[in-house]
Amino acid sequence: MTHSHKSITLNIYSKMEREIQMGKIWCIYFSPSGTTKVVMERIAAKMDGEKHTWDLLKEPDVTPKTLQPEDVLLVGVPVFSGRIPTPCIPMLQSLKGAQTPAIAVAVYGNRDYDDALLELKNMLEEQAFLVIGAAAVVAQHSIFTKVAAGRPDAEDLEKLDLFSAECIERLQSGRMNWKELQVKGNKPYREISNVPMKPSADTTCTSCGLCARLCPVHAIDPANPRKTDQTRCISCTACIAACPQGARHFPKLMFVPASVAFEKSVQSVVNQNGSYKEKSLYA
Ligand SMILES: Cc1cc2nc3c(=O)[nH]c(=O)nc-3n(C[C@H](O)[C@H](O)[C@H](O)COP(=O)(O)O)c2cc1C
Ligand code: SF4
Ligand code: SF4
């Protein structure tokens, strides 16, 4: 976990500063292809306090951690088949609140976030956090990268600043004014399903072992990193994003038709609605 120590002043806007009783700001995310990290760091940037950043991919850890009532928890996960990615669950369950305020964020690739935000909110509430802000945010699809390509873009980031400012206002309004948020989703949640395509490395792989160290489900053998254990891999794309050689890919024979079909299905949403699906921000 990285720590940065700053004053406990919250900057809502640059011109307006108010001293409030604040503990630590915990910024926690799982971000195989990097977009969730960008989103969470942007939301956290407005909150000026002692920050603890925990990247669940780089520092997997299930040691129990207890937060204080005056702390603030920010959690961001990508949506995988409408749910929270399974490797995140035991790590997020290691967090216990004490009526600690929390902000829940689900980042999704413009198909749908289905039950993921509700699942995250419910999980946090079961662990004694009070979810005072929640957002579903569109970002570039990590598998079908032409979908929502380049997002979050400058306009998205500005909207995240507004969301962050709204969360800060709510934090400062005091717990008496915090009420339960309603977010989209159904329980029982969608069944957990895995994407059938799994990446492997081509001949440009230098066997550096980076992907094997990073894989959240240990699907890559460090002794033979070109191969992927198909039964373990959850297609998270972390190894593809991290490989310095650009050696890891989904199998072309499956990827090309799947990509055409997926882009078509998202395009039909564009045709129906006149624009790509927007982010939903609840706060
Ligand atoms: C295995 C897998 C499943 C996904 N399922 C969905 C989904 O159900 N709905 C959606 O809109 N995007 C889905 N996506 C896209 C990601 O949620 C999206 O690209 C997100 O921004 C990835 O976050 P990251 O860049 O932090 O890894 C999926 C991506 C992966 C890798
Ligand atoms: S990160 Fe790339 S080069 Fe390194 S072992 Fe993995 S596939 Fe090979
Ligand atoms: S092998 Fe599969 S689970 Fe492991 S990092 Fe790569 S895509 Fe993710």
What is the pLDDT at residue 1?
56
* Beta partners for residue 281, in sequence order: 135
ipTM surpassing 0.85, yes or no? yes
CATH number attached to the domain at 200-249: 3.30.70.20
Query: Is 85:234 a contact under the CB 8 Å cutoff?
Result: yes
Q: Along the chain (283 residues), what's the average pLDDT of each consecutive run of 10 residues?
A: 43 34 89 98 93 97 95 98 98 97 96 96 98 95 95 94 94 91 95 96 98 98 96 98 98 95 80 56 64
Which has the closest alpha carbon to 131: 103, 105, 160, 95?
A: 103
CATH topology of domain 2-189: Rossmann fold (3.40.50)
200-249 has the same fold as 2-189: no
What is the pLDDT at residue 273?
53
Cis upstream peptide for 152 (omega within 30°): yes
Q: Is the CB of 34 under 6 A from ligand 1?
A: yes
C-alpha distance across the termini of the chain, in Å: 27
- Of all protein residues, the one whose alpha carbon is nearest to atom 2 of ligand 3 is 233
- Of all protein residues, the one whose alpha carbon is nearest to atom 3 of ligand 3 is 233
- Burial pattern 22-52, b for ≥16 Cβ within 10 A else e, equals bebbbbbbbbbbbbbbbbbbbbbebbbbbbb
CA dist., res. 159 & res. 148, Å (int): 16
CA dist., res. 14 & res. 46, Å (int): 9
What is the pLDDT at residue 210?
98
Q: How far is the CA of 213 from the centre of ligand 2 (A)?
A: 10
Please, what is the Cα angle at 216 between 127 and 220, to 5 degrees? 165
Does residue 20 come out as left (phi exceeding 0), alpha (psi in the -120 to 50 range) or beta?
beta
Q: Is the CB of 241 under 6 A from ligand 2?
A: no
What is the pLDDT at residue 270?
59
* Boundaries of every domain in the chain: 2-189, 200-249
- HEC secondary structure over 93-125: HCEECCCEEEEEEEEECCCCCCCHHHHHHHHHH
Question: Phi first, then psi: what are they for 181, rounded to 5°?
Answer: -90, 150
Q: Is the CB of 243 under 6 A from ligand 3?
A: no
Q: How far is the CA of 263 from the centre of ligand 3 (A)?
A: 22
